[in-house]
Amino acid sequence: MGVDLKCSADFCLIPMGTETASVSKYIAEVQVLIRSSGLKYAMHSAGTTVEGPWDEVMTLIGKAHELIHKLGVPRAQSDIRVGTRVDKKQSFTDKVAVVEEILRKKAEDEAK
C-alpha cells in the first residue's frame, strides 16, 4: 500500500543563454503556467513554492522547463528543495504562520 504523498517544493528556475541579463519576462510566463495548474503556490524573490501531490508538483516543474525551451532559451537550471510530511497535514502557509506567531509572542514578552 502506497502513501498519498503530498509535498511542498521550493524551486528557482534559471533561464540561461538569454539575450539579456534580465529573465523576468520568462519567469512571468512560468508564473502563468503555475497559476493555470490549480496547485497552491507563492512566488517570492528567489523562486516559487508549490504545494500538492508529488507527481503533479514534479510534472509542473518539468513543464516549466519545457516552456522555457519553447520560448527559445537554450538552457535552464532549477534548484529544488522538496519537503514531505506524513504525520500531519500542514501547508507552507501554516509553517510560516507558526513562526510568525512565535515572533509575535516574543515581541509581546520583550515589550513587558
Angle between helices 24-37 and 54-70 (to 10 degrees): 140
For 69, other C-beta atoms within 10 Å of its C-beta total 12
pLDDT tens-digit map of 50-98: 999 999 999 999 999 999 999 999 999 999 999 999 898 889 999 999 9
Q: Return the C-alpha cell found at 28.
A: 512571468
Q: How far is it, in rounded angstroms, from Cα 52 to Cα 54?
A: 6
Note the pLDDT of residue 16. Answer: 97
Q: How far is it, in rounded angstroms, from Cα 85 to Cα 71?
A: 35
Note the pLDDT of residue 34. Answer: 98
Q: What is the pTM of this model?
A: 0.86
9-28 burial by CB neighbour count: b if 16+ within 10 A, else e?
A: bbbebbbeebeeeebeebbe
Give 6-86's CATH code, choosing from 2.60.120.330, 1.10.10.60, 3.20.20.105, 3.30.70.930.
3.30.70.930
pLDDT tens-digit map of 35-54: 999 999 999 999 999 999 99
